[in-house]
Amino acid sequence: MKDQAIVILEDASKYYQQGQMEVRAVDGLSFEINRGDFAALCGPSGSGKTTVLNLIGGLDIPTGGKVFLEGEDLGLLSRSRISAIRRDRIGFVFQAYNLIPVMTAYENAAFVLTLQGVPERECRERVLSVLKEVGLEGLENRRPDEMSGGQQQRVAIARAIVTRPAIVLADEPTANVDSTNADSLLSLMERLNHESSVTFLFSTHDQRVMDRAHRIIRLHDGRMESDEVIA
């Protein structure tokens, strides 16, 4: 249903020029991500998963077709408007965590709220609440180098959801953690989806993520192979 769609891709393409060769990273892709989805983009390396996330996240502009986020055509927006959408409406979780090394867990989680100008008291309440929700209560003052990989990824998840975004884009979120931490992180994100209606879209080739996903979109050479809702 379009009124429930957060993301709509309409015949979206992204081509790159490598010397004399044109690389079609995404080639005529159409699908919607609806509010409350817990969906995974799957496929081999080079299938276009990360490029799709970059298009939805406004990090890339489509070569052809359209990408809409909450009804706005990202290809028609100014850089400042796209930056505001990324800050306010999209949460990002990267496989490399992308935390700021000199900042504590609290400061990393609060960073985007500070950019938004959220008052200090409200910021503190929201950050402490989210850090507790992701299992990091009592670790607020630790810097990334004082935390395990799984804990760092939890900080990244806290930072992604504290702004109450329309969608969280997670690029290979289990790639740099062991099996125990991967299962724990997936359980956390599944709970956030179920209890707090956080919408997630993963890119992954990890079977553990695919086993948890409620919808699997399979890509091959930038095209959709299948789109399956898991009962």
- Can you give the pLDDT at residue 1? 41
Q: Residue 220 domain-assigned?
A: yes
Residue 2 confidence (pLDDT): 45
Q: Encode the chain (231 residues) as per-residue pLDDT tens digits.
A: 445 899 999 999 999 888 888 889 999 999 999 999 999 999 998 899 999 999 999 999 999 999 999 999 999 999 999 999 999 999 999 888 899 999 999 999 999 999 999 999 999 999 999 999 999 999 999 999 999 999 999 999 999 999 999 999 999 988 888 888 889 999 999 999 999 899 999 999 999 999 999 999 999 999 999 999 986
Q: What is the CATH number of the domain that holds 89?
A: 3.40.50.300
The confidence score (pLDDT) of residue 231 equals 66
**Residue 225, domain member (yes or no):** yes
Domain-embedded: residue 103: yes
Provide the CB-side half-sphere exposure for 93 (13 A, CA).
31
| Structure tokens given for 201 | 């879209």
Domain contains 206:
yes
Q: Name the domain count of the chain.
A: 1
Whole domain around residue 145: which residue ranges?
A: 37-61+78-229
**CB neighbour list of residue 157: distance below 8 Å, 6 or more residues apart:** 93, 134, 168, 173, 185, 188, 189, 192
User: Does 133 reside within a domain?
Assistant: yes
Record the pTM. 0.92
Any domain includes 50 = yes
